[in-house]
């Protein structure tokens, strides 16, 4: 089975679930240097209309650093039913906060 087919089956199964949650930890490397990390947790409950997402991103070099932390929480049937706006794009106007480039 191809990698694309496996990915399709995973996404299809996740869409059919009423509740799913997980954690993502990614380390970005170039050769042996660590360029950044991305950590996050998520929860989506279609029955109760609850969505939660937390993330922390750290990237940069010795001269410049990028840090971003975000936490989003939604309650109500509209967010979980999927009316074309998607789970990942709820950040606008929902207490989205972060810190952009700063000198080290």
Reduced to 3 states, what is the DSSP secondary structure of residue 53?
strand
Does 96 map to a domain?
yes
Does 6 map to a domain?
no
pLDDT, one tens digit per residue, over 53-70 is 999 999 987 788 889 999
Does 9 map to a domain?
no
Counted domains in the chain: 1
Does 10 map to a domain?
no
What range does the domain containing 40 cover?
A: 20-103
What is the pLDDT at residue 94? 47
Please tell me the pTM assigned to this model.
0.54
Among 57, 61, 65, smallest CA distance to 27 is for 57
Does 3 map to a domain?
no
Tokens of 22: 């997980």
Does 37 map to a domain?
yes
Three-state secondary structure string covering 19-31: EEEEEEEEEEEEC
Does 38 map to a domain?
yes
Residue with tokens 């380390």: 27
């Amino acid at each position: 089975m191809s990698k694309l087919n496996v990915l399709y089956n995973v996404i299809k199964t996740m869409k059919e679930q009423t509740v799913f949650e997980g954690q993502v930890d990614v380390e970005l490397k170039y050769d042996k240097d660590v360029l950044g990390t991305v950590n996050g947790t998520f929860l989506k409950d279609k029955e109760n209309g609850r969505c939660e997402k937390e993330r922390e991103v750290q990237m940069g070099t010795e001269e410049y650093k990028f840090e971003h932390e975000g936490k989003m929480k939604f309650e109500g049937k509209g967010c979980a039913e999927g009316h074309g706006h998607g789970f990942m794009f709820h950040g606008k106007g929902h207490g989205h906060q972060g810190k952009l480039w700063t000198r080290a």
